[in-house]
Amino acid sequence: MNNLDKTHQLPSLVTTSDTTLFPPIWSLVLVAGLLTVLVSHLGYLPLDTRSDEPRRALVALEMMLSGDYITPTLNGERYFNKPPLYNWIIAGSYSLFGTYSSLALRFPMMVSLLLFGGTIFYFVRRYVSSAIGFAVALMLLTNGRVLLYDSLLGLIEITFSWIVYTAMMLVFHFDRKRQYTLLYVTTYGLTAVGFMLKGLPPLAFQGITLVGWFLYTGQIRRLFHPAHLLGICTFLLITGSYYWAYFTQNAIPVSEVAGVLFNESAKRTGLQFGLVKTLVHLITFPFEVFYHFVPYLLLIVLLLRRGLWHTLKENPFISFNALAFSTNVLIYWSSPQVYGRYLIGLVPMLFTVLAYLYYEKTSPANRSRWWVERIWLALTLTVALGCWVTIFYPTTRIIPGVIWKTLLISGLLFILAWQQYQSSHNRLGLMLAVMVVVRLGFNWLVLPGRLVSRELYKNSAEQAARRTIGRPLYGYRKTIGNDQATDVSSFHITALRGDILRKTNRKLPGVFYIADSASLAGEQYEVIQEVLLFDRHPAYVVQFHP
């Protein structure tokens, strides 16, 4: 009997009492609280000044202003770095809300995040249990990386991660059903969607997942199934349709676009950074992952057990998740420049394995689990006490209602700490609640401080835009568009003026320019208005003397 026969004959293990671990009322309160803290401040902050968010916003905005949805541009110049699908989605959200607001920009991300959680719950519930599915879905939504950073930004990664995760799960799902036409068509269709979001990476995920799983289950012949060709054709049809339209409209070499897409994927690998930086990254990467996805990755100590792989093989869905994560994560483990958000599509598979071991294969008396739960308790108490610094810190003590807000956050955390201290078979569930409260405190006590600095750049850009409405305005030389830092100012100016802020090296009569001192060296000009670019980089609205 080969691995395939074993995989299809083994039943799913469902031994956890779902209603005991997550009573309906407790689950409802937890979900309602999480939805509230995620959505309530979604549009609270202007564009982030330290991420790709302004670039995503600006490319979509320029599409709408130009009416050209085939050729993405940035400051009026062709933008090849990412295919246009997410820009289309953002543009659709702008149209839905009737505004270019931060809320409209981030709304697609939030929809994708909630659908991502629902997708995790569906698959884990189907093949393991409802309790573990619920826990894993909330672990994805409440880990430190997603909860305190990515769920506040209108970036591609959440949507991309949802697509990649779903494609991987469908490999297992349709393999169990032996429906290989559906397997290849749906997964390659989703791979095409992922490609249209972010370029080449989903092709690597698709190949590694298929080869790894079929090799493990002794089904390598499935790679030569006739439906595989149909799946590849599905991918080519979806992506090829767009690029046919693109190159029909733009008379540029295919190699120019392909080269940019390849460089976007290769620039973070060891090919660009060399041997030394790659070796350092190989050592530090596990610690970086641990840092980004606290507090749940503390459970990784549960992997340190005898007969681990035998335990994981008892449930084929768990072994699939373990295999898919451990093989696909090598893409990032070998790439020196990796951001935590790149891993969001993979960590739910690791969370699934860890939650399975926590609920099904250990008890509160397990020594490793006992230590993890005590660390969770210590962290909860630390935050419950530490949040009181807000009434002394200069930027937070001026927040309206800071005392009662801090008292409520601290009180809720002390209650949850007491519950953790009591005998409990579900301290992981309590930690999910702790993270919801942490995000509530983050909304109330941290985000107001960020609002001040972001509004500084927004207000400065909008003042320049108002001063120049009705007159042509350009970015002079390398003042804008030279790096991502200036995209936030470009967006706010473009959105208010309703006109694309283009770059130029030419000096034209009757035209306003945004220029910094480096670009203005040796020029004769009149300063109309000062503009503050990120990071507190002064620039000016000027007119050149004849």
What phi and psi, each to the nearest 5 degrees, are found at residue 512?
Answer: -90, 150
Matching residue, tokens 């090919």: 271
Measuring CA to CA, how many Å separate 191 from each of 159, 202, 228, 262?
13, 6, 13, 16
Q: Considering only CA atoms, which of 334, 189, 357, 211 is closest in space to residue 274? A: 334
Are the C-beta atoms of 372 and 192 separated by less than 8 Å? no
Q: Write down the H helix ranges in 293-401.
A: 308-313, 316-328, 330-333, 347-360, 367-386
Q: Over its length of 546 residues, how does the chain's per-residue pLDDT go in tens digits?
A: 344 444 444 333 334 457 788 999 999 999 999 999 999 999 999 999 889 999 999 999 999 999 999 999 999 999 988 999 999 999 999 999 999 999 999 999 999 999 999 999 999 999 999 999 999 999 999 999 999 999 999 999 999 999 999 999 999 999 999 999 999 999 999 999 999 999 999 999 999 999 999 999 999 999 999 999 999 999 999 999 999 999 999 888 888 888 877 777 666 665 566 777 878 878 888 888 989 999 999 999 999 999 999 999 999 999 999 999 999 999 999 887 778 899 999 999 999 999 999 999 999 999 999 999 999 999 999 999 999 999 999 989 999 999 999 999 999 999 999 999 997 889 999 999 999 999 999 999 999 999 998 999 999 999 999 999 999 999 999 999 877 778 999 999 999 999 999 999 999 888 999 999 999 998 899 999 999 998 888 999 999 987
Using only C-alpha atoms, the chain has a radius of gyration, in whole angstroms, of 26
475 bridge partner residues? 503, 514
73 bridge partner residues? 78
**Start-to-end CA span in the chain (Å):** 86
CA dist., res. 478 & res. 214, Å (int): 51
- Helix, strand, coil % over all residues of the chain, rounded to 5: 70, 5, 25
What phi and psi, each to the nearest 5 degrees, are found at residue 226?
Answer: -55, -30
CA dist., res. 117 & res. 329, Å (int): 20
Matching residue, tokens 């289309």: 88
